[in-house]
Structure 1
Amino acid sequence: MSQPSVIVVGGGLGGLWATVRIADAGFTVTLLSLFEVKRSHSVCAQGGVNAVLDTKGQHDSVRQHIIDTIKGGEYLANQPPVKSMCEDAPGLIRTFERMGVTFSRTPEGLLDQRLFGGVKNKRTCFAGASTGQQLLYGVDQQVRRLESEGRVIKHEWWEFLSLLRDEAGVCRGIVAMDLRSLEVRAFMADAVVMATGGMGQLYAPKTTTSTNSTGAAASRCYQQGAWLANAEFFQFHPTAMIGHDKTRLMSEAARGEGGRIWVPRTPGDRRPPRTIPEVERFYFLEEFFPTYGNTVARDEAARAIWTVTQEMGLGLGGGDRVYLDLTHLDQAFISTRLGAILEIYRKFAGVDPVTEPMEIFPAAHYGMGGLWVDFERAADGGIANGSVRNHATNIPGLYACGECDYAYHGANRLGANSLLSASYSGRVAGESVVSYLKGFAGTRPGVREDLIADEVARQQGLNRAIQEGQGSECPYRIHQDLGALMTAKVGVVRANPQLESALSELRQLAERLDRVDFGAANPWAHQGLVFARQLRDMITLAKVVAQGALARDECRGAHYKPAFALPIPAGTFPGDPAFEAYRARWQENNHQWLKTTIAEHHDDGPRIHYQEVDLSLFPPTDPRDYR
């Protein structure tokens, strides 16, 4: 019997960590990436990565990190995976150190830590304002070592098209396309790990994500039977800057290091910001959230900006922008701590944030939802190390990790938990795949050659159908319309009539895509063809987001429907008769209350059902947790 092998799709932190763990265990890994691995979207994460090291002497604790993550996610994250992730975070940081990652340090030589949104303790390790890049490069060096030893085979500039499953339904490989030659080829393996990142391009151009963050790969798995979970929860980062070409993120670290968000108190005030007296400035986060101030969680900050600009009419120039002000801070300090984002703003806005406030607005940033993955609960309340269930999808042999899974963030992601969850989930998925491979006994059944040939031919046929299209529609225009639709009707604030309209318009966009015309096009390196294929899968994914949002009649985390924001009876707590009557009424009317949304693909649209959330460690006790 041949040695089992694995395919990892995606070269970001999740995919690289999975690759390292599987290859270190002695199995061959074929790693596929849309582009050079070092360009993966993990490099765009700026502010830092969470781990309780308590280098600031604030008596921080792992328990508090767990609670902050659970409460930040509005109790919609399964708690065992959260517990294990937070407990393993300090060890991950030490491992990154040994890989050569150059974290920022205090004058005493300790790892420096900064404050991030939604927490009261400084627990975010960072490497200036380019943390994701430094972490990715550290793991990439380990993968290159394994590649030089023949344990990793890397294919850059290849795109995942579909899964290959045997007659028992077990995932046994993939079909992928060379983006240069458009060759379509089958890759066989004994397990597949999807680590293909997020889906922010559903909201383009008002998204902070790369143009490659389409979610197409996850959508293709979903269309072949994989479940999607909690897709309606989409985080809008409160501090993004608009550009002529795309939207760029101004890291939450700017707020964590003392940045203040404000608008003039007088609507339409067009004076230069530095000339507006303090008394005439509205520091609305500090007034709305006196406990956290400018470091309030992202979902609350984004909704506050929406309220101030859309309802109160105080947006700069009457629009959706507000000021993010660093000018009161020491220039040398912020240049050292935030140099990367300051340079981005200088380059693309033509303004120096050291001397003038930045203009920012909420933009689509991170999907908390993604491919559903399993876990096995251990006796200590965390997850069982090495279990084959951890990060397994509902398709046997298919695993998922990184931003394309749903496992750790519930209804809203805590700032600086993304690099942590990507790294941790990749490591766990890799270890689970190793256990899965070691469980093989005897000869493994192969996939019939005719089934492989049929799927390759089907994918080639899809390419030809697009290339030979004779319609009048431009896919890039359709994508613009998709982004505008999602931003307007499935955005920061939602309402059921708008969501119903969005679903109808998404069906119309799908019909328009059937009438695409490229004109004369090369039979190789045809990026319009690649994009048109991705766009169809993006529209399918957008339907899941909108359908899940329509079905969830409550306000929780990044999903906010004012019509269902019922006030809690004043002065009541769990156990009080008035509160228990409120809770019973809420549960009776909301069958998705404290449950995970599960979407299954059908030809006429997604079918939604719900799954209980594991609340075994820290059940909600405060009335505010039941909103």
Structure 2
Amino acid sequence: MAKRRGKFIVIGGGLAGLSLAMKLCEHNAEVVLVSYQPVKRSHSVCAQGGINAAINSKGEGDSPDIHFYDTVKGGDFLAHQPLVRDMCFQAPAIIHLMDRMGVTFNRTPEGHLDFRRFGGTLYNRTAFSGSTTGQQLLYALDEQVRRYEADGLVTKLESHEYLGAVIDEGGVCRGAVIHDLHTSEIFTLGGDGVVLATGGPTQVYGRSTGSTVCNGAAAMSAYLQGARYANGEFIQIHPTAIPGQDKLRLMSESARGEGGRIWVPRKPGDDRNPLDIPEAERYYFLEENHPLFGNLVPRDVASREIYDVCINQGLGVGGEPMVYLDLTHHTVEYLKERLGGILEIYEKFTGDDPHKVPMKIFPAVHYSMGGIWTDYEGDGHGLIDHRSPRNQMTSIPGLYAAGEADYQFHGSNRLGANSLLSCIYTGQMMAPGMVQYGKNLNLHYEDVSSRVFESARQEWQGRFDDIKRMNGRENPHVLHRELGDVLLSNVLIVRENPKLEKALTLINDIQVRFREVKCLDTTHWSNPAPSFINQLHCMIHLAKIITVGALKRNEFRGAHYKPEFDLKQPDNFDPHEYVDYLEKLQYGEVAGTEFQPGHLEYMKRFEANNKEWLKTTIAQHRDGEPTIHYEDVDTSQITPRPRKYE
């Protein structure tokens, strides 16, 4: 009898999906790769600045351990440490692998891989391919997957949408329900496992640096089927984007990594040509407030500083919410070699040449540290057992998640250039465990009753038929814009509980109005209207998760900034030691630690305000609403400390 070959369904054709598909094929598994759009247009192609790995080619003393520490610290100690450590130790091998695949990384004059600095670190750790690194990585992985496609191991279904998982009577995922976006056919696929590598959800905010396909619908479909959703409140606001009415276009952190300086005129409302403003009259606030890291503080720190300068201090350029990002001290040749792509984007959409005049930028919604809850298994030595079927599995057996769709690697704030690394790493790391999962199944998808698949198909067919019959007075696109405005106004950089409560009320109102949506097009061929309405339904649920999580998390951590709970911590004081102290007192042990009166007063306030300290927020769908509970974060290797970047 021929040996059975495993079959897996990978949803998403970005870096995580392609990396996983390639690795599964190396294990002789069959892959069906489902992509909402042509794979080469997956949102990973928009990543600009680079990918991190501590290779230390410049002799600075960098190492994977330091990369590990910087990542955990950058995420304000809210990431699971074994996973982060394993990722950072795998990073050099990933860079060399991509180099061998033909990625055109920038080189030094000697021919070595070149690296530049990104935020949250003092080392040149970011490998890059000009300012189009994501595109080069995506194309290289796509070539590898095409090779397996030619060999018959990969089947690509582009212009197809994931609707939901096929779950049997035992609660095990046996396949996926797929929507053909051209013909509107709804059908099912069977497989040993399904992976959601579907990217981020930033379109819930309406205007962001993300593509219109970054709506979180696939993750929300899993959530509505019972999967947990973790840390939804942690939304990264990128400090540098080009303001615009239609979209907020990213200005990569690589611009600051190459020496870009952020400043505003010291005089409020100063509308002079920026080149006419003398150095003494410029406020380089990141450099003055954070002299060690300067313009390369982590993104959450930079965004809050820009917000404070523009909104609270009223020093925005020309009185507007904008600051200058200045690269004019570099030569045109240098900028074209290292930043050509992004500077062309700026000139195209603003008409100003950033080689000659400073760019005008402001923070924008960019990334979600939160995502579907996934599991992992350590190897007992501080790293990950790559053969464990638990790795990246959601709370639904057989349903996995990877890339930005999951939550595990970035804590409460992602460091720049760690996103591309985490995407490729998760695909590489989880594949052996998925193969083991398929081998260990007592019942394979071929043996599951066809009624399970047909029931799932009929459920989704009925849902789309109902959507096409919707004939109310509400325009779904208007509702989407209003939903985004609610989040942009109340759940952005600065968060206050009264505003969060207001946002939740407004989201509930939008949810009620959603019932009166009108399906603007009811044809059956290449009709995006029913899909968008279904996605809007998902985005409303996601908006609730984000808002409820933010409302309940009464602390200031990473991208989640609540000024009311920004307690000024005394010097030389570690809250972690205080928690140990309380535990010893609880069990009648000798405390062995003395705290000054000021420290004790601080900790009383800390305890009253920070019930979620070092916890993961877990949202589960119950009776139409998200219920919240908390899980501990694995801090077994690095003791959490006050996060300072002075």
TM-score range, shorter chain: over 0.9
The answer to whether the Cα contact below 8 Å between 2:372 and 2:394 also exists between their aligned partners in 1 is yes
1:95/1:571 CA distance change after superposition, 3 Å: closer
Moved more, 574-583 or 385-394: 574-583
1:520/1:53 CA distance change after superposition, 3 Å: closer
Match of 1:132 among 131, 134, 138: 134
Q: Give the Cα–Cα distance (whole angstroms) in 2 for the partners of residues 98 and 278 of structure 1.
A: 45
1:520/1:264 CA distance change after superposition, 3 Å: same
Residue equivalent to 2:583: none
Residue equivalent to 1:147: 149
Matched AA of 1:153:
T
The answer to whether the Cα contact below 8 Å between 1:9 and 1:196 also exists between their aligned partners in 2 is yes
The answer to whether the Cα contact below 8 Å between 2:190 and 2:445 also exists between their aligned partners in 1 is no
Q: Give the Cα–Cα distance (whole angstroms) in 1 for the partners of residues 604 and 146 of structure 2.
A: 56
Q: Aligned-pair RMSD on alpha carbons? A: 1.6
Write out aligned runs for 1:529-544 (5 A): 529-544=530-545
The answer to whether the Cα contact below 8 Å between 1:166 and 1:446 also exists between their aligned partners in 2 is no
Long gaps (5+) in structure 2 = 578-592
Quote how far apart the aligned CAs of 1:530 are.
1.3
The answer to whether the Cα contact below 8 Å between 2:23 and 2:431 also exists between their aligned partners in 1 is yes
Residue equivalent to 1:22: 24
Moved more, 436-445 or 532-541: 436-445
Match of 1:192 among 191, 194, 218: 194
Moved more, 66-75 or 371-380: 371-380
Quote how far apart the aligned CAs of 1:587 are.
3.5
Residue equivalent to 2:638: 618
Residue equivalent to 2:595: 577
Moved more, 182-191 or 442-451: 442-451
Moved more, 272-281 or 32-41: 272-281
Quote how far apart the aligned CAs of 1:280 are.
1.1
Matched AA of 1:198:
G
Cα deviations across residues 458-514 of structure 1 (Å, max 9, x unaligned)?
212222222222212111111111111111101001001111111111111112221
The answer to whether the Cα contact below 8 Å between 2:6 and 2:435 also exists between their aligned partners in 1 is no
Find the residue that maps to 1:162 and give its secondary structure. Answer: strand
Cα deviations across residues 168-221 of structure 1 (Å, max 9, x unaligned)?
10000011101111110011111111100001101121x111110000100000
Residue equivalent to 1:158: 160
The answer to whether the Cα contact below 8 Å between 1:373 and 1:406 also exists between their aligned partners in 2 is yes
The answer to whether the Cα contact below 8 Å between 1:165 and 1:447 also exists between their aligned partners in 2 is no
Cα deviations across residues 114-173 of structure 1 (Å, max 9, x unaligned)?
010111000000000000000011110010000000001110000011110111100000
Q: Give the Cα–Cα distance (whole angstroms) in 1 for the partners of residues 360 and 540 of structure 2.
A: 31
Cα deviations across residues 579-614 of structure 1 (Å, max 9, x unaligned)?
366346524542211011111111241011111111
Long gaps (5+) in structure 1 = none
The answer to whether the Cα contact below 8 Å between 2:120 and 2:296 also exists between their aligned partners in 1 is yes
Q: Give the Cα–Cα distance (whole angstroms) in 1 for the partners of residues 469 and 566 of structure 2.
A: 50
Q: Give the Cα–Cα distance (whole angstroms) in 1 for the partners of residues 447 and 310 of structure 2.
A: 59
Find the residue that maps to 2:561 and give its secondary structure. Answer: coil
Q: Give the Cα–Cα distance (whole angstroms) in 2 for the partners of residues 482 and 538 of structure 1.
A: 9
The answer to whether the Cα contact below 8 Å between 1:554 and 1:590 also exists between their aligned partners in 2 is yes
Find the residue that maps to 2:622 and give its secondary structure. Answer: coil
Find the residue that maps to 2:499 and give its secondary structure. Answer: helix
The answer to whether the Cα contact below 8 Å between 1:400 and 1:429 also exists between their aligned partners in 2 is no
Quote how far apart the aligned CAs of 1:576 are.
5.1
Residue equivalent to 1:288: 289
Find the residue that maps to 2:165 and give its secondary structure. Answer: strand
Residue equivalent to 1:608: 628
Find the residue that maps to 1:601 and give its secondary structure. Answer: strand
Matched AA of 1:276:
I
1:361 and 2:362 matched: yes
1:593/1:40 CA distance change after superposition, 3 Å: same
Write out aligned runs for 1:402-417 (5 A): 402-417=403-418
Q: Give the Cα–Cα distance (whole angstroms) in 2 for the partners of residues 514 and 612 of structure 1.
A: 38
Matched AA of 2:614:
L
Find the residue that maps to 2:214 and give its secondary structure. Answer: coil
1:76 and 2:78 matched: yes
Matched AA of 2:327:
L
Q: Give the Cα–Cα distance (whole angstroms) in 2 for the partners of residues 349 and 444 of structure 1.
A: 53
Cα deviations across residues 295-328 of structure 1 (Å, max 9, x unaligned)?
1110000000110111111112322211111011
Residue equivalent to 1:448: 449
Find the residue that maps to 2:410 and give its secondary structure. Answer: coil
Q: Give the Cα–Cα distance (whole angstroms) in 2 for the partners of residues 321 and 589 of structure 1.
A: 33
The answer to whether the Cα contact below 8 Å between 2:230 and 2:617 also exists between their aligned partners in 1 is yes
The answer to whether the Cα contact below 8 Å between 1:238 and 1:363 also exists between their aligned partners in 2 is yes
1:624/1:582 CA distance change after superposition, 3 Å: farther
The answer to whether the Cα contact below 8 Å between 2:14 and 2:39 also exists between their aligned partners in 1 is yes
Residue equivalent to 2:585: none
Cα deviations across residues 42-72 of structure 1 (Å, max 9, x unaligned)?
1111000000111111111111100000000
Residue equivalent to 1:419: 420
Write out aligned runs for 1:21-40 (5 A): 21-40=23-42
Q: Give the Cα–Cα distance (whole angstroms) in 2 for the partners of residues 401 and 443 of structure 1.
A: 23
Q: Give the Cα–Cα distance (whole angstroms) in 2 for the partners of residues 63 and 615 of structure 1.
A: 15
Residue equivalent to 2:435: 434
Residue equivalent to 1:113: 115
Moved more, 294-303 or 243-252: 243-252
Q: Give the Cα–Cα distance (whole angstroms) in 2 for the partners of residues 269 and 405 of structure 1.
A: 44
The answer to whether the Cα contact below 8 Å between 1:260 and 1:326 also exists between their aligned partners in 2 is yes
Match of 1:593 among 613, 616, 624: 613
Matched AA of 1:601:
H
Find the residue that maps to 1:262 and give its secondary structure. Answer: strand
Find the residue that maps to 1:53 and give its secondary structure. Answer: coil
Find the residue that maps to 2:145 and give its secondary structure. Answer: helix
Find the residue that maps to 2:625 and give its secondary structure. Answer: coil
Q: Give the Cα–Cα distance (whole angstroms) in 1 for the partners of residues 28 and 479 of structure 2.
A: 46
Quote how far apart the aligned CAs of 1:554 are.
0.3
Q: Give the Cα–Cα distance (whole angstroms) in 2 for the partners of residues 533 and 518 of structure 1.
A: 11
Cα deviations across residues 530-566 of structure 1 (Å, max 9, x unaligned)?
1111111011011001110001000000000000111
Find the residue that maps to 2:124 and give its secondary structure. Answer: coil
Matched AA of 2:72:
I
1:547 and 2:543 matched: no
The answer to whether the Cα contact below 8 Å between 1:200 and 1:214 also exists between their aligned partners in 2 is yes
Find the residue that maps to 1:133 and give its secondary structure. Answer: helix
Write out aligned runs for 1:374-385 (5 A): 374-385=375-386
The answer to whether the Cα contact below 8 Å between 2:115 and 2:125 also exists between their aligned partners in 1 is yes
Moved more, 176-185 or 450-459: 450-459
Matched AA of 2:139:
Y
The answer to whether the Cα contact below 8 Å between 2:228 and 2:395 also exists between their aligned partners in 1 is yes
Quote how far apart the aligned CAs of 1:520 are.
5.1
1:97 and 2:99 matched: yes
1:526/1:256 CA distance change after superposition, 3 Å: same
- Count of aligned pairs: 623
Residue equivalent to 2:326: 325
1:25/1:613 CA distance change after superposition, 3 Å: same
The answer to whether the Cα contact below 8 Å between 1:46 and 1:129 also exists between their aligned partners in 2 is yes
Matched AA of 1:270:
D
1:601/1:324 CA distance change after superposition, 3 Å: same
Residue equivalent to 1:183: 185
1:330/1:520 CA distance change after superposition, 3 Å: closer
Q: TM-score if structure 1 supplies the norm length? A: 0.97
Residue equivalent to 2:46: 44
The answer to whether the Cα contact below 8 Å between 2:175 and 2:445 also exists between their aligned partners in 1 is no
The answer to whether the Cα contact below 8 Å between 2:555 and 2:609 also exists between their aligned partners in 1 is no
Residue equivalent to 2:582: none
Quote how far apart the aligned CAs of 1:352 are.
0.6
Matched AA of 2:169:
E
Quote how far apart the aligned CAs of 1:99 are.
1.0
The answer to whether the Cα contact below 8 Å between 2:190 and 2:446 also exists between their aligned partners in 1 is no
1:7 and 2:25 matched: no
Q: Give the Cα–Cα distance (whole angstroms) in 2 for the partners of residues 454 and 443 of structure 1.
A: 18
Quote how far apart the aligned CAs of 1:455 are.
2.1
Cα deviations across residues 373-397 of structure 1 (Å, max 9, x unaligned)?
1111112211112111111111111
Moved more, 448-457 or 554-563: 448-457
Find the residue that maps to 2:365 and give its secondary structure. Answer: strand
Residue equivalent to 2:249: 248
